[in-house]
Amino acid sequence: KVMTGIRRCGKSVMLDLIKEELKESGVPETQFIAFNFEDMRNANLCTAQALHCEVVNRASEISGKVYLFFDEIQEVTDWEKCINSLRVEMDCDIYITGSNARLLSGELATVLGGRYVEFMELYKDIFPDVTDSVVFQRYLTLGGMPYLANLHFVEEPSRQYLTDVYNSVVLNDVVKRNKIRDIDLLTRIVTYVIGNIGTTFAATSITKFLKNERRTVATDTV
């Protein structure tokens, strides 16, 4: 089972909820093997070979089905080889999360839906008397990030939080990982794309838009 998503969208919390559900269904916690690869204590396991050896060693002490949890798996070099090997050689149930910054392979990735339903439940916990149409309008305005409930969906703190998440994804993930030098150009392109969701467009139309904005750039660059 693969969960992907941007920073702070609730992937790690979802793993914890799955563990709780398994325990409630009668699976003992002793059957669990879990790793968070953002934890420096697991830095020595960030290769497929090292992780595979560690999991096999731990699983050898467990009788019955093993439940494997790998949080932020993209930090492990060649992680797909390890996961596929574990799927083949042992009786296990595997749950992995990964950041959209380094997309998981199409062969393994699945998409979890239902974000609006979650938003409605969180919103009505705080404002139980609001109508569904009001909730939907707030969802369209604020989006479905779970942490907004901690801010009680107050306008200004919510917008600041969303801005911080956006900057974190664009500046930390996209700019650094792709070594983008012209951050202003990237910002303008992203703004254009967000502003034209639902509209068919191409690099040439973005180039024309930027030219109207007095920002000349080659289509190849876009």
**pTM, 2 dp:** 0.56
Q: Report pLDDT digits (tens) over 13-72.
A: 999 999 999 999 999 999 999 999 989 999 999 999 999 999 999 999 999 999 999 999
- Report CA Rg, the chain: 21
What pLDDT, on the 0 to 100 scale, is given for residue 170?
A: 81
What pLDDT, on the 0 to 100 scale, is given for residue 206?
A: 93
What pLDDT, on the 0 to 100 scale, is given for residue 125?
A: 92
Alpha helices per DSSP H over 25-154: 48-59, 79-89, 115-126, 132-142
What pLDDT, on the 0 to 100 scale, is given for residue 112?
A: 31
Spatial contact of 117 and 146, defined as CB atoms under 8 Å apart:
no
Helices vs. strands in the chain: H and E counts, helices first: 9, 4
What pLDDT, on the 0 to 100 scale, is given for residue 3?
A: 87
What pLDDT, on the 0 to 100 scale, is given for residue 114?
A: 56
What pLDDT, on the 0 to 100 scale, is given for residue 115?
A: 64
The ranges of the chain with pLDDT < 70 are 100-115
Q: For residue 59, how far is the Cα from the chain centroid?
A: 28
